[in-house]
Amino acid sequence: MKKFDIIIIGGGHAGIEAAWISDQMGLKVALVSMTGVPLASTPCNPAVGGVGKGQVVREVDALGGLMGKIADLSAIQYRTLNESKGHAVRSTRVQVDKEKYSENAEKIIASSNVEVIREKVSKVYKKESMFHVELGKKGLKASKVIVTTGTFLNGVVHTGEEQSSGGRIGQMASDGLQDLFLSIKTAPTRFKTGTPPRLDRETIDFSKLEPQESDPKTQNFHVLDNLYHRELEQVPCYLTRTNNETLSIIRDNKERSPIFNGQIKGVGPRYCPSIEDKAFRYPERNSHHVFIEPEGLNIPTIYPNGISTSLPKDAQEDFIQTINGLEKAKILVYGYAVEYDVVDTINLSKTLEYKDIPGLYFAGQVNGTSGYEEAAGQGIIAGINASLAFLNRGPLVLERTNSYIGVMVEDLVSNRRDEPYRLFTARAENRLFIREDNTTNRIHQYRKLLGLNSELDQFQTQYMAEYIQLDKYCEKFIFKSNDETKGYFKKMEYGPLDDNVTLSQLLKRSKLDPVATLKNEVEGFLFPVVQAVAISKKYEGYINRANLENQKLVKLGKKKIDWEKIVNSASISNECKQRIKDIRPETFSQAQRIKGIRPATLAFIAGGI
Amino acid sequence: MIYLNDGLPIIACSTGTTSNTAIAKIRIGGFENLDALTPFFSKNLLNLRPNEARLLEIMHEGKVFDEVVAIFFKGPNSFNGENILELDVHGNQVNVQRIIDLFIDNKICRLSYPGEFTYRALTNKKMNLSQVEGLDVLINSHSNFAFDQGMATLRGELNEKYKLLLHYFIKLKASLELSIDFLEDVGEESAKKEFAASFSDFNNLISSLYQRTRGNVENLMTPTITLIGQTNAGKSSFFNQLLLNNRSIVSDYAGTTRDYVSEGLSIKNTDFKLIDTAGIRETFDHIEKMGIERSFELGKRAFFKILVVNPFETNPDDFHLLKDLEFDFVIFTHSDLVGMVEKRDQLLKNPNFPNHYNNLSLSLGPIGPDESISGPMGPGKNISGPMGPDKNTSGPIGPIIEELKNSIYSKFTELCEKDPILVDRHRRVLEGLYIKTQEFQVVTDSLDDLGIISSELNLIENDIQELLGIISPDDVLASIFSNFCIGK
């Protein structure tokens, strides 16, 4: 039995983040992945980032994770979403070359001390304080185990009427993880996730479609990379739409859809609906966007984003060919849905440790999230915390007030999921403060606690020093209201200068782009610093106002509560008692977030604080 | 005001302690069981079944204090969720006090704070904040309207409106999220439409709720009519005339203070507080000046303001004292005297003459405790006065007073018809909400930055939560309960 400090089961996005950071922190790491499954594969949309998710990628990057780096190395199209809607809601999204992504992931992991073991896990059990992971004849043991098995837990694949056991098409389900896992509480609802068919690139008529070129102004994810460097050749994506014909074929095939005929019992995410979901939920709409995304530079398949389906094969062929530009399209891989069990995350603590089995952690889609970015975020948190626990140090918990990762982890452990969890900017209460451009400001305090001294840490130190300096400068520097400066203002189109104005006040002017303005006025600072200071200044007033209003709530939210005492009081309804017993909230804000909790109960709890 | 959550049993007289009545109700609440109380009664309290009235005697050390009717309410099936023992005792205040002292001195319970029984209803979740506020209105209202509204709030009807407001707000927030997180799925056009429609729904509701907070709420809880005028204008005579046959004996409005005299005036079942203020005049006397200022303040807030003017003894220089007021009626007295009409018209033409809606002229005859006043003022006197600004009719003073009272009552009903919201906290929060909503509209019209727009929207959310009592500041509770009397 080979002994490790930590064993990670599952080589997906969560797994590699956990493995990498644990290695960085000096632990002896084993990463177990099934044969035939590439590391960090992108089985669904070959894209990283997006609204809310781009922010997570950058947060993972700032903590020292891999996703940003790998994405930059593998990206073939860059876009900035919500570009015209203000800096707070901007998100970066890249299309990646599927093969290159996994290749790069393998390369980077190979460059570390992580031992990658390609075997199927047959049994996991705990003896004394050690976990034993059996792989057929061999075995491993460690005091910390992180499970990142994704959709493989009791996975069943559906393509129309055909079903097979698997976590993904062509890949076996991991039935072996049953023993320890018999004692793991899974969520009462099975989840499902679906994916669209893959089309043969050669059979698509691109001349009929609207191109979306890669944006050269979109900034790379990894902070140590040159902002605008493009490692790979850039290609455009294309836009087309479904039409009446498409939708009527889908509607005609309702009985043959596993989602609607009851074959699949799992619940899919509402916001990532299959084309069947869209067809039946919005009967009046017949035109849905379909984004034609290349899966790689040298890969023959196209990923049509927006028509995820589990209809039978012939139905898939029929409706695809009604779409503009896809009339002659050939299907190389049919669309399918996977139904799987997920961990009941209310049994996890904020470090993603399973409360009843110390030393065991869960991260990624196995917790009921959907999305590579959400998985990576959990992976790095579980990895950091398992390592800190191993080193007998205190836990690292990110706050929901300053990070999307914090929002996600707290949401996961505070409520039972009844559908797959995906991050949106809407989940964060203060979007103005949690932005892409100020990731280093928000995350640096956490990275510091790891006590490492890599290139990333040095960058962050320099960044913070420059930030403080530039911030002060903006407050101190005054444009005097004299003729010469007025003329300058006119030339630069900064607006009027009737009174003296500080640089900070200038940046707040609503007609100006704060970043461009600040860039004009200072020299010698890192561009990311200039960018972050400028945008922060612009939003300063609004953020302060929101903070003031929220102070009462935030103060109240942080107060600790004694859930046992509350549950024993006679004044709470049985329903609320049950929910509180399930979740075991530790603070008032956790209680607030409990689904279905009555305002009166909250008032009662608040009154008792 | 700090409300101790000490959980000790409390006692209070719910029917008040200011006057003798036939029956008084004493409540003891929050005791664990009847064991501790049994020694003070002639029968074993443990045999008392909940919700049953029983005749008992209160006894201590062999002496019978009183014969009472007792009802036991077993928590949580009681008004405030705790065990309550209600005692109907003889309403002599000496008796009431003696009984209360008996239980307090023997350490069974302590005297409750004002409103503490209801406070416990709130903390035990038997009532929500809105209902408590409704109770406040109910207890302290002096008009049918206010009472009805208190009742409605107690029954949660106003709360329903607020829940609808929350619903619209959530829709609005959702439509904004649509634009940020789902733009690619929905499209710019329909996202914008969705947002505009949601905002319109929300704005309309908050505007109509806001309209209901305008106006002086004091006027509906305690509608006041003030008589203002110079010394010797005839205010006091007029005061007495109004009260003739209409003095309200039921209300507690009767009073005399340094600054004014008040009485209850009943018009069609609504009790108005009629106030005769100190005479207004320019003076160097400091104390008099303060008195005048105080009654002036009073006058300003009244819902119906009457200016009483004696055209013969009016000093136009004093008008500036009244320049900020708008009077509902001006009464010109001494209309029986020669030259009155000319003097009156001269005053009316004066640009500094206070603003007013209507004026009447009449003669009030002699004042004083000896004259008998009945029907037309004074034996044989001739009363004349226009019923409106121009007319010149003569007749007994009776109809003039009637018209005035009708005017008062219809102004009051008009106010009521606007269905104003009386609860202080709601008014405050709704006003804040309305202002924030208008500011929000400006932001959305002028900016494209969805981050800022969503942040501003969140400011509104806090207020809505406060309205529904989800998060309420401590001092609010204190101020509500200070309006309660002990025993409730």
Peptide bond into B76 cis (omega under 30): yes
CA distance A82 to A91: 7
Catalogue the E-assigned strands of A17-122. 29-33, 47-49, 75-81, 91-96, 115-118
CA distance A369 to A53: 12
CA distance A39 to A22: 17
CATH superfamily of B145-214+422-468: tRNA modification GTPase MnmE domain 2 (1.20.120.430)
> B227-401 has which CATH code?
3.40.50.300
* Domains of chain A, first to last: 195-337 (2.40.30.260), 453-548 (1.10.10.1800), 559-607 (1.10.150.570)
Q: Which CATH architecture has domain B10-127?
A: 2-Layer Sandwich (3.30)
Yes or no: say if A256 and A295 are a contact pair by the CB < 8 Å rule: no
Q: Where are the alpha helices (DSSP H) in A559-597?
A: 563-568, 574-583, 588-592
Closest CA to A328 of A210, A199, A211: A199
Q: Name the residue in chain B with its Cα closest to that of A604.
A: B123
Task: Assess B211–A contact: CB distance below 8 Å, yes or no.
Answer: no
Give B-chain residues touching A543 at CB under 8 angstroms. 455
The pLDDT of residue A337 is 81
Instruction: Write phi, then psi, for A299 (nearest 5 degrees).
Output: -105, 135
Give B-chain residues touching A271 at CB under 8 angstroms. 181-182
Candidates B81, B448, B468; nearest CB to A85? B448
Q: Name the residue in chain B with its Cα closest to that of A424.
A: B181
Task: Assess A178–B contact: CB distance below 8 Å, yes or no.
Answer: no
Q: Name the residue in chain A with its Cα closest to that of B75.
A: A570
Mutating which of B6, B454, B461, B481 best tests the A interface, going by the most A Cβ atoms within 10 A?
A: B454
Yes or no: say if A324 and A209 are a contact pair by the CB < 8 Å rule: yes
Candidates A86, A424, A602; nearest CB to B448? A86
How far B208 CA lies from chain A's nearest CA (Å)?
Answer: 25
The pLDDT of residue B372 is 35
Q: Where are the alpha helices (DSSP H) in A290-357?
A: 313-320
Closest CA to A254 of A278, A273, A233: A278
Q: Do B450 and A89 touch (CB under 8 A)?
A: yes
The pLDDT of residue A272 is 65
Yes or no: say if A404 and A45 are a contact pair by the CB < 8 Å rule: no
Alpha-carbon dihedral sign for residues A383, A386, A392, A397? positive
Q: Do A546 and B458 touch (CB under 8 A)?
A: yes
Give A-chain residues touching B183 at CB under 8 angstroms. 81-82, 85
DSSP per residue over A518-539, as a string? HHHH--SS-HHHHHHHHHHHHH
Cβ partners under 8 Å of residue B282, min gap 6: B315, B317, B318, B321
Task: Assess A602–B contact: CB distance below 8 Å, yes or no.
Answer: yes
Q: Which residues sit opposite A124 in a β-bridge?
A: A133
pLDDT tens by residue, A548-590: 877 766 677 777 888 888 888 766 777 778 888 877 888 877 7
Q: Do A88 and B449 touch (CB under 8 A)?
A: yes
Cα distances (Å, whole numbers) of residue B30 to B10, B12, B43, B87, B112: 6, 12, 21, 15, 11
How many CA atoms within 13 Å lie on the side-chain side of A198?
Answer: 15
Q: DSSP state, B187?
A: -
This prediction has a pTM of 0.74
Taking one residue from A and the other from B, the number of pairs with CB-CB distance under 8 angstroms is 107
Closest CA to B241 of B69, B77, B389, B364: B364
Task: Assess A137–B contact: CB distance below 8 Å, yes or no.
Answer: no
Give A-chain residues touching B180 at CB under 8 angstroms. 51, 82, 85, 89, 424-426, 431
Task: Assess A212–B contact: CB distance below 8 Å, yes or no.
Answer: no
Give B-chain residues touching A85 at CB under 8 angstroms. 179-180, 183, 448-451
> In this structure, what token pair is assigned to residue B179?
């634009």
> Which residues of chain A, if any, have pLDDT below 50?
172, 176, 178
Task: Assess B445–A contact: CB distance below 8 Å, yes or no.
Answer: no
pLDDT tens digit at each of 488 positions of chain B: 345 567 789 999 999 888 889 999 999 999 998 998 999 999 998 888 999 999 999 999 989 999 999 999 998 899 889 999 999 999 999 999 999 999 999 999 999 887 888 888 877 777 777 777 777 777 777 677 777 777 777 667 777 888 888 888 888 888 887 788 777 666 677 778 888 998 999 999 999 999 888 876 667 777 889 888 877 777 888 888 888 766 766 556 666 666 677 888 888 878 888 888 777 666 667 777 777 777 777 777 888 999 888 888 887 777 777 777 888 888 888 888 888 888 888 888 888 888 888 888 887 765 433 333 333 333 333 334 333 333 333 345 777 888 888 999 988 888 777 777 777 778 888 999 999 999 999 988 887 888 899 888 888 887 887 776 554 444 444 444 555 444 44
Cα distances (Å, whole numbers) of residue A430 to A179, A407, A546, A550: 43, 11, 8, 10
Q: Do A88 and B473 touch (CB under 8 A)?
A: no
Yes or no: say if A431 and A89 are a contact pair by the CB < 8 Å rule: yes
Task: Assess B473–A contact: CB distance below 8 Å, yes or no.
Answer: yes
Give B-chain residues touching A565 at CB under 8 angstroms. none
The pLDDT of residue A349 is 94
Candidates B76, B124, B455; nearest CB to A542? B455
pLDDT tens by residue, A297-309: 999 999 999 888 8
Instruction: Write phi, then psi, for B130 (nearest 5 degrees).
Output: -60, -40
Candidates A81, A546, A599; nearest CB to B455? A546
Mutating which of A238, A274, A282, A571 best tests the B interface, going by the most B Cβ atoms within 10 A?
A: A571
The residue extents of the domains of chain B are: 10-127, 145-214+422-468, 227-401
CA distance B88 to A471: 72
Candidates B129, B180, B184; nearest CB to A425? B180
How far B436 CA lies from chain A's nearest CA (Å)?
Answer: 13
Q: Do A600 and B128 touch (CB under 8 A)?
A: yes
Task: Assess B470–A contact: CB distance below 8 Å, yes or no.
Answer: yes
Q: Do A86 and B449 touch (CB under 8 A)?
A: yes
Candidates B81, B179, B471; nearest CB to A553? B471
Task: Assess A546–B contact: CB distance below 8 Å, yes or no.
Answer: yes
Cβ partners under 8 Å of residue A272, min gap 6: A193, A308, A370, A420, A422
